[in-house]
Amino acid sequence: MSEAGTGARRTGEGRLPGDPTPRQMVERVIRVDHAGEYGAKRIYQGQLAVLRGTKWEKLIRHMQAQEQVHLDTFSGLIPKRRVRPTALLPVWHVAGFALGAATALLGHRAAMACTVAVEEAIDEHYQAQEAALGEDEAELRGHIRQFRAEELEHRDIGLEHEAEQAPAYRLLSAAIKAGCKVAIKVSERV
Ligand SMILES: [Fe+2]
Ligand SMILES: [Fe+2]
């Protein structure tokens, strides 16, 4: 975590022949983050569909509102930076909602465990992006840094609300994190 926030001096600095160009790196960052924030919003919508009217609603709405700001930021960057959005939005539309609703159906602890797993995966992902983007992309890196702090707040909310007491916590968490990593890999390119 230590050096992650500093960033390279220039985006793509130290890249090897065959590595993505700085332009390709920025495109991938915006494409995958737009996809991820879209998925995050859908996860919380899925959780709300099940937990609406319970004492968890307010907490979930708070996290969802922050995801909406994250999503709106990347939605604005797609045309501004002329990036092709992922072709997989319809997939994340369904998969995000299904993940949120399915875990919430297992109970609030599983819903919180889902949040913790997703946000831990996103934290790692955003850290790597912060380190790869340079001063020439200070604005984009600033957004990512701010959003990462909020994702960590979501993780902490999950941990404070008994995520680790969810049924089969380790298995659930490992499966969701593995899913996130696959989703990240494909959304960078597709
Ligand atoms: Fe987010
Ligand atoms: Fe989040």
The verdict on residue 175 lying in a domain is: yes
**Domain enclosing residue 112, as ranges:** 21-189
Cα(18) to centroid of ligand 1, in Å? Answer: 31
The verdict on residue 58 lying in a domain is: yes
- Whether 74 shows a pLDDT value over 50: the answer reads yes
The verdict on residue 69 lying in a domain is: yes
Cα(14) to centroid of ligand 2, in Å? Answer: 31
Q: What is the average per-residue pLDDT within 17-25?
A: 89
Residue 134 in tokens: 């340079």
Q: Which ligand is nearest to the CA of 38?
A: 1
The verdict on residue 48 lying in a domain is: yes
The verdict on residue 1 lying in a domain is: no
Helices marked H in the chain — which ranges? 22-51, 57-80, 89-105, 108-132, 138-160, 169-189
Q: Which ligand is nearest to the CA of 35?
A: 1
What pLDDT, on the 0 to 100 scale, is given for residue 166? 87
Cα(23) to centroid of ligand 1, in Å? Answer: 23
What pLDDT, on the 0 to 100 scale, is given for residue 14? 80
What pLDDT, on the 0 to 100 scale, is given for residue 2? 45
Cα(147) to centroid of ligand 1, in Å? Answer: 6
Write out the binding residues for Fe cation. 37, 67, 70, 119, 151, 154
The verdict on residue 68 lying in a domain is: yes
What pLDDT, on the 0 to 100 scale, is given for residue 17? 84
Four-residue CA torsion sign, 108, 104, 187, 67: negative
What pLDDT, on the 0 to 100 scale, is given for residue 1? 44
Q: Number of structural domains, the chain?
A: 1
CATH code of 72's domain: 1.20.1260
Cα(67) to centroid of ligand 2, in Å? Answer: 6
- Whether 117 shows a pLDDT value over 90: the answer reads yes
Cα(17) to centroid of ligand 2, in Å? Answer: 35
The verdict on residue 132 lying in a domain is: yes
CB 109 within 8 A of CB 159: no
Helix axis angle for 108-132 and 169-189, nearest 10°, is: 40
CB 93 within 8 A of CB 132: no
Cα–Cα dist 124/130, whole Å:
10
The verdict on residue 88 lying in a domain is: yes
